[in-house]
Amino acid sequence: MNILAVDPGSTSTKIGIYFNGKIYKHKVEHLDENFLKIKTVVEQKDIRFDNIKQFLKDNNFEDVNFDAIVARGGLIKSVEGGVYEVNERLIEDLKKGVNGEHPANLGGILAREFAEIYNCPAFIVDPPIIDEMWEIAKITGVNSITRKSKFHALNHKEVARRVAKEKLSKRYEDSILIVAHMGGGITIGLHYYGKVVDVNNGLDGDGPFAVERAGSLPVDGIIEYLKNTEMSLDKFLKLVVKESGIYSHLKTKDMIKVEDMVTGGDNEAEKVLDAFVYNISKEIGGLFAAAKGKIDGIVLTGGLANSKLIVEKIRDYVGFMSEIYVVPGEYEIEALINGAIRVLKGEENAKIYE
């Protein structure tokens, strides 16, 4: 069984090949000025397509008979978790970005193009828009405004499954875990017997502030800011997603640099980092209450889980609640490949996106 996995992120395209029972992984960084100048995600497609083709060619995978192409899904309509076949309707919604713009919207589109070349099916797995939230968690104080489920679903689910199996010797479906994915964005969710029943929307101003995201903001502050700057709503939304958080205070998105600033005695950096950790811990605490204090563990994952300083500061706040499992980085490529294998082996049916 041979599988090509494609995982487009904001600053990179991750590629995975499952061949002869082994996984080969590669990351193409998109940090050059010209790439960053490209205005829309859809306009990045050809560059990312060429990068994947080049990788296949350079590593002698070009002539492999792929059985499936699998990709990270994007901001389509809300769906339940699982593996979805890439169909016309899915492609249309990814192109339109019906629930917002995100690099993951290119996943299904690229998968379909490679599936045409290799004459095999294309799938997406656990898109960031999967919605398993409790009704109660969606209700806000304004009748027509509801909370939405937009999060790092792919990594959340894979890491939670691994912790349940390897550390708790339980099935994911029998466990209660709080998972904090801490990367460029931060999403913290309560995994309750196999469903993510409450989670902050990592994109649109909800939850703790992140490396580049604003998180929840006070409404009066937003109104005053918009009045003072006369900024358009579109521009404001971009600011909230790409140019806020740690970046807004310290002008870097590199947390290794922030740590260096803190250890070098920069008081401002230390204050901001402490606020960062405080907000993450408060979000975990909120979900601990939502689970009525009965959890099997807290899982810290994403790039920032590599940081001993951040992990220890979070532990100081929430360590009393339960065991903390640290799973640095992400398992998105593995999650994609495992999803495709389950379908190809007939262990799971691919769902149809409608």
Ligand X SMILES: Nc1ncnc2c1ncn2[C@@H]1O[C@H](COP(=O)(O)OP(=O)(O)OP(=O)(O)O)[C@@H](O)[C@H]1O
Binding site for ligand CCCC(=O)O (CB under 6 A): 102, 128, 150-152, 185, 187, 202-203
Compare residues 121 and 184 and give the one whose CB is closer to ligand CCCC(=O)O.
Answer: 184
Compare residues 99 and 338 and give the one whose CB is closer to ligand CCCC(=O)O.
Answer: 99
* Cβ proximity of 78 and 104 under 8 Å: no
> Interface with ligand X includes 253 (CB under 6 A)?
yes
Partner in contact with 2, chosen from ligand CCCC(=O)O, ligand X, none, beta carbon below 5 to 8 Å by kind: none
Rounded Cα distance, 149 and 118, in Å: 34
Q: Which of 149, 307, 322, 338 binds ligand X (CB under 6 A)?
A: 307
> Interface with ligand X includes 189 (CB under 6 A)?
no
Partner in contact with 203, chosen from ligand CCCC(=O)O, ligand X, none, beta carbon below 5 to 8 Å by kind: ligand CCCC(=O)O
Compare residues 154 and 341 and give the one whose CB is closer to ligand CCCC(=O)O.
Answer: 154
> Interface with ligand X includes 185 (CB under 6 A)?
yes
Compare residues 112 and 213 and give the one whose CB is closer to ligand CCCC(=O)O.
Answer: 213
Q: Which of 2, 10, 59, 248 binds ligand X (CB under 6 A)?
A: 10
CB neighbours (10 Å) of residue 234?
Answer: 8
Q: Which two tokens stand for residue 96?
A: 């339109």
> Interface with ligand X includes 245 (CB under 6 A)?
no
Handedness of CA 115, 99, 154, 341 (dihedral sign): negative
> Interface with ligand X includes 302 (CB under 6 A)?
yes
> Interface with ligand X includes 304 (CB under 6 A)?
yes
* Cβ proximity of 148 and 140 under 8 Å: no
Compare residues 185 and 208 and give the one whose CB is closer to ligand CCCC(=O)O.
Answer: 185
Least Å distance, CB 64 to ligand X, is 27
Which of 24-32, 230-238, 300-308, 312-320 is the region at the interface with ligand X (rule: CB under 6 A)? 300-308
Partner in contact with 307, chosen from ligand X, ligand CCCC(=O)O, none, beta carbon below 5 to 8 Å by kind: ligand X
Least Å distance, CB 68 to ligand X, is 23
Compare residues 102 and 195 and give the one whose CB is closer to ligand CCCC(=O)O.
Answer: 102
Q: Which of 4, 6, 9, 157 binds ligand X (CB under 6 A)?
A: 9
Compare residues 254 and 312 and give the one whose CB is closer to ligand X.
Answer: 254
Compare residues 52 and 344 and give the one whose CB is closer to ligand X.
Answer: 52
Number of residues that bind ligand X (CB under 6 A): 19
- Can you tell me which residue has the tokens 């605490």? 285
- Which residue minimizes CB distance to ligand CCCC(=O)O? 202
Least Å distance, CB 207 to ligand X, is 12
Phi, psi of 321 (to 5 degrees): -75, -40
What Rg, from alpha-carbon coordinates, does the chain have?
20
* Cβ proximity of 48 and 26 under 8 Å: no
Q: C-alpha angle with apex 300: 218 to 340, nearest 5 degrees?
A: 105
Q: How would you label 29-56 residue by residue, b for 16+ Cβ within 10 Å and e otherwise?
A: ebeeeeeeeeeebbebbeebbebbeebb
Compare residues 11 and 59 and give the one whose CB is closer to ligand X.
Answer: 11
The residues that touch ligand X, with contacts defined as CB under 6 A, are 9-11, 152, 183-185, 211, 253-256, 259, 302-304, 306-307, 330
